[in-house]
Amino acid sequence: MRILFINSATYYAKHTSVLPLGILSIATYLQNHGHSVKICDREIDGTGKLKTGAFIPDIVAIAAPSFEGFPDAVKISKKFVKKNIPVVWGGQAPSLVPNLVLESGVVDFVVIGEGEYTFLSLINAIADKTPFNEIAGLAFVDNDEIVINPDRPFADLADFPVIDYSLIKPEKYFVPYIGCEKMLHIYASKGCPHQCTYCYCMCLHKGVWRPRPFDHILSEIEYLIDTHGLDGVCFTDDLFGPSKKHINSICDSIIDSGMKFAWGCNMRADSTTKEELQKMYEAGCRWILFGIESGSKVRQNLIKKNIEIDVAQRTAQYCKEIGIYTTVTFIIGFPDETEEEIRQSIQYMQVLDADAKFPNFCGIIPKTELAESLMKIKRWQAPQTWKEAAKFRVMDRYSDNLSNIKDKELKIILSSFYWTNLLMKYPDRGKSSRVLFKRAFAQITDALRWGTFYSFLLILKSAFEFIKILFYAKMFPKILKKYGLK
């Protein structure tokens, strides 16, 4: 069969596009099983038009990694429904609300969670005209009734193939970062063993962490270096490695390969040693992101993050001594969070010896423990339609405020940190540069080259975001002083 994969657009001005890794993995898997595949990424295309060339699909698979991609995904789905071509949705967001996606009336199937095995089973069932009820991890409509089959057991990632990056143009996704000019996002594992109440990971991965074979990853990196000039890798894993043994094994593999590239990852700040960090540096690690989330020990327990914040401070100091650039994140606006708690977080961030400090807003994610607990006491309601889901904002997007802090004050705190980070100079191969400005400039340059309505819209949104951040960061000195930011 011919399968057209489409990554839906969010037209979001604050980030550069990353590789659609889920699509790439599934497309490679299906291609290895004899199917023809094509990938269209509307996040990177920018034209607003769906260009499939002479490729006429038998099935259309649409990824909506975030809720913001729902409107574009629905718009695309309508085009193919009219042609009686089966439409399948997948990704993190549809996996959390498959019933709402199917109720849109323009989607035939939703692949929940990991898609390789489920999608292949679906294709076979369509081809053989057999029932869909036995396909684990699939949701569909049967005689106007929504059917959600049981979850599929987690796969051994060693059974998945080396990703075929020739299915896309990697150059379109290159971004500059610390120690590199051509960085791409690659994943080395799935899941996380921790149980943070606000995180989607428990919903989709059930506290299970699974690594990919690192020889697969090195094969992909070698191809990208030799064919496309890759010089940096950002491992997108929720948790790069839960054990010292695993991380040491990865570092040894990189060193033994002889390949030279800068890389970074996400880790817990209280579960690594100086020796481990030194080994990572020797293997090319130049940056690490640590999710701290709160400087309040009480809040740490409430959200089940349970970071030992004193140990995290020591880890940041180790990284600075070794030469690894550190970014830490924290969250403000937790339900019932007080001014004193936010002051504690800000004070902690100010003394933390990290290089960059990024705040996020506590947006409630459906199906998380936090969301379920709020629903029980009727303080929050899950989306009832796909349109409501599309309005959900999480992380760096401001949304419903359930804290004890005024909306304006939260926006001022967020913007103050954003502005500082935007102006910050990052280390760059013996010198320093404003990497975030370079990224923003590259994004605007791409948009100008597209020369379409959508690129014009993206530029306007970028300008609006910039002005909004500047306004909140600079126009309220009394509130900044109140929280120790001025």
Per-residue tokens: 135? 């396909």
- Answer whether residue 273 shows pLDDT above 70: yes
The predicted model gives 126-150 an average pLDDT of 96
pLDDT at 194: 93
Strand residues in 377-445 grouped as ranges (E):
426-428, 431-433
Average pLDDT over residues 80-100: 95
Which pLDDT value is given to residue 38? 96
Confidence at residue 112, expressed as pLDDT on a 0 to 100 scale: 97
- The answer to whether the beta carbons of residues 14 and 465 sit under 8 Å apart is yes
Query: What CATH topology corresponds to 190-405?
Result: TIM Barrel (3.20.20)
Report whether pLDDT(259) > 90.
yes
DSSP 111-130: E-S--HHHHHHHHHHHHHT-
pLDDT band for position 14 (50/70/90)? Answer: very low
Mean pLDDT to the nearest integer, 214-241: 97
Predicted confidence band of residue 2 (pLDDT cuts 50, 70, 90)? very high
- Tell me the β-bridge partners of 40: 6
- Are the CB atoms for 368 and 202 separated by under 8 Å? yes
Query: Tell me: the pLDDT tens digits for 186-209?
Result: 999 999 999 999 998 988 999 999
pLDDT exceeds 70 at position 245 = yes
Q: Please say if the pLDDT value at position 67 is more than 50.
A: yes
Per-residue confidence (pLDDT) for residue 461, from 0 to 100: 77
Q: What is the mean pLDDT of residues 425-444?
A: 63
Predicted pLDDT at 45: 74
pLDDT value at 161 more than 70: yes
Cβ proximity of 442 and 453 under 8 Å: no
Tens digit of each residue's pLDDT (9 = 90 or more) over 348-401: 999 999 999 998 999 899 999 999 999 999 999 999 999 999 887 654 455 678
Dihedral pair phi/psi, residue 155, rounded to 5°? -85, 160
Q: What is the pLDDT of residues 327-357, one digit of tens each?
A: 999 999 999 999 999 999 999 999 999 999 9
pLDDT score, position 459:
77
Query: Does residue 438 have a pLDDT over 90?
Result: no
Q: Kindly list the domain boundaries of the chain, sorted by start residue.
A: 2-148, 190-405
CATH topology for 2-148? Rossmann fold (3.40.50)
Which of the four pLDDT bands, split at 50, 70 and 90, describes residue 44? confident
| pLDDT in the model for residue 442 | 64
Give kind and range of the element (H or E) at residue 420.
helix 407-423
* CA separation for the pair 357, 377 (Å, rounded): 33
Q: Do domains 2-148 and 190-405 have the same CATH topology?
A: no
